[in-house]
Amino acid sequence: MNFNDTKKFAVAVALLAFGTANAATINLSKCVASINKTMSDGASVTFWVFGPAGGMCTGALPGAPIEVGVGDTLNLTLNINGMTPQEAAPYNGHTIHLHGADVATAEDGVPETGAPVTGDTYTFTPAGNMYGSYMYHCHVHTVKHLEMGMYGALIVRPKDASGNFLNQITASAATTYDYVQTYLFSTVDPAYHTATGDSTVFADYNPKYFLITGAEGKTTAAPAVSLAAAVNKKVALRLIGLHSVGGTFEIRDAAGAAKTFTAYTEDGRALPTAQTVTSLDVSAGQRFDIIFTTPATTGAWYPQISYKKLRDGAAYATAYGKVTF
Ligand SMILES: [Cu+2]
């Protein structure tokens, strides 16, 4: 069997092993678009982003979230046919790596272990112990391509007996939520966006922009993301660390008081014991799925992340979201 036949065989075996009447097959295709984004200081920064394949490739930062149910089969195709390579060899292409997902090496999108960089289909069937937030990103010249914006959220959701998604983080009813939003953390060093190949620029990271789900959110009055919830409701936030620095996540009220929240998963697995805390350090590549309960009176809280230097923990900047109730 050649490489692709081997993959088809593996998929067939996986379907026989895990396929159930309620398991869905999800076929998605992604392309790669180059976009220019105007930042808060007026500067234009070029990003490479995953868009939906078909026609001329367009997209936004970050790539659209992908949702897959436990036991479903995701066939995620990267189609870069006819695209001029954005970097010279050996970085002359792209892949999709499903970060944190247990997949066979041939589905892993890592060029160093044999993945083609000219397009492929990546197959993933989440097992019953996988819940919550993962991520997908390009694994070619990762120090550059991740920074360029080649990423998005990958969410594994529990399903009911009829095959419908449950509005809970894991199979446990204790993780039921009324509202959900993704907080995808990322940082931008504009020098990385113009450097190529093995430039020494990549030896030192100096981020200038600090994002939540593709937006800066520099103040509580101009949050990166906002959610209109209601009083006495459960709000789930999916925290996904695609930043290249350190970060501390908190939820604060309008007066600045820290609020408690409960983490139910870490890195796509249920925590043995849910952790109720007022802050969480979120590292590069790390994920948490959390829930908080809105209070009984109307107002707003501000989920936020303080980005920090890896070298000494010094604060860079805080990016804010907003939840009204
Ligand atoms: Cu790439």
H runs (alpha helix) in the chain: 3-18, 142-145, 190-194
Span from the CA of 80 to the centroid of ligand 1 (angstroms): 10
Check pLDDT > 80 for residue 18: no
Distance 46 CA to ligand 1 centre (A): 14
Centroid of chain to Cα 214: 11
Q: 215 C-alpha vs ligand 1 centroid, how far in Å? A: 21
The alpha carbon of 149 and the centre of ligand 1 are apart by a number of angstroms equal to 9
Pick the CATH number of 179-324 from 3.30.750.24, 2.40.30.10, 2.60.40.420, 3.90.1580.10: 2.60.40.420
- Tens-place pLDDT, residues 215-255: 999 999 999 999 999 999 999 999 999 999 999 999 999 99
Distance from the alpha carbon of residue 309 to the mean position of ligand 1, in angstroms: 25
Q: What is the pTM of this model?
A: 0.92
Q: Give the pLDDT band (50/70/90) at residue 8.
A: low
Ligand 1 centroid vs 144 CA: distance in angstroms? 8
Which percentage of the chain shows pLDDT scores above 70?
A: 94
How far does residue 91's CA lie from ligand 1's centre (Å)? 8
**pLDDT on residue 20:** 55
Would you say residue 10 has pLDDT above 70?
no
Q: For residue 111, report the distance from its CA to the centre of ligand 1, in Å.
A: 11
- CA–centroid distance, 140 to ligand 1, in Å, is 5
Q: Dump pLDDT digits (tens) for 30-74.
A: 999 999 999 999 999 999 999 999 888 999 999 999 999 999 999
How far apart are the C-alpha atoms of 37 and 32, rounded to whole Å? 15
Q: How far is the CA of 87 from the centre of ligand 1 (A)?
A: 9
Say how many Å lie between the CA of residue 166 and the centre of ligand 1: 33
SS3 content of the chain, % helix, strand, coil (to 5): 10, 45, 45
The answer to whether 3-160 and 179-324 have equal CATH topology is: yes
Q: How far is the CA of 12 from the centre of ligand 1 (A)?
A: 29
Dist CA 33 CA 10 (whole Å): 31
Cα(240) to centroid(ligand 1), Å: 19
Tell me the CA distances in angstroms from 104 to 14, 99, 100, 125, 139, one per residue in order. Answer: 11, 13, 12, 11, 15
pLDDT digits (tens, 9 = 90+) for 73-100: 999 999 998 889 999 999 999 999 999 9
Q: What dihedral angle (degrees, nearest 10) is formed by the CA atoms of 298, 300, 301, 304?
A: 170
Q: What percent of the chain has pLDDT over 90?
A: 90
Rounded distance from Cα 301 to ligand 1 centre (Å): 36
- Mind listing the pLDDT tens digit for each residue in 257-290? 999 999 999 999 999 999 999 999 999 999 999 9
Ligand 1 mean position, distance from CA 277 (Å): 36
Q: How far is the CA of 94 from the centre of ligand 1 (A)?
A: 4
User: If you measure from the C-alpha of residue 2 to the centroid of ligand 1, how many angstroms do you get, rounded to a whole number?
Assistant: 25
- With 60 as the cut, is the pLDDT of residue 169 above it? yes
Give the pLDDT confidence score for residue 296 in this predicted structure: 98
Q: Give residue 138 CA to ligand 1 midpoint distance, Å.
A: 5
Q: What are phi and psi of 51, to 5 degrees?
A: -120, 175
The CATH fold assigned to 3-160 is Immunoglobulin-like (2.60.40)
Task: Report how far ligand 1's centroid is from the alpha carbon of 97 (Å).
Answer: 10
Domain boundaries, the chain: 3-160, 179-324
Q: Give distance in angstroms: CA of 62 to centre of ligand 1.
A: 14
pLDDT by residue (tens digit) across 182-203?
999 999 999 999 999 999 999 9
Q: Measured in angstroms, how far is the CA atom of residue 109 from the centroid of ligand 1?
A: 10
- Return the closest-CA partner of residue 15 out of 75, 58, 61: 75
Whether the predicted pLDDT of 134 surpasses 70: yes
The pLDDT assigned to 82 comes to: 81
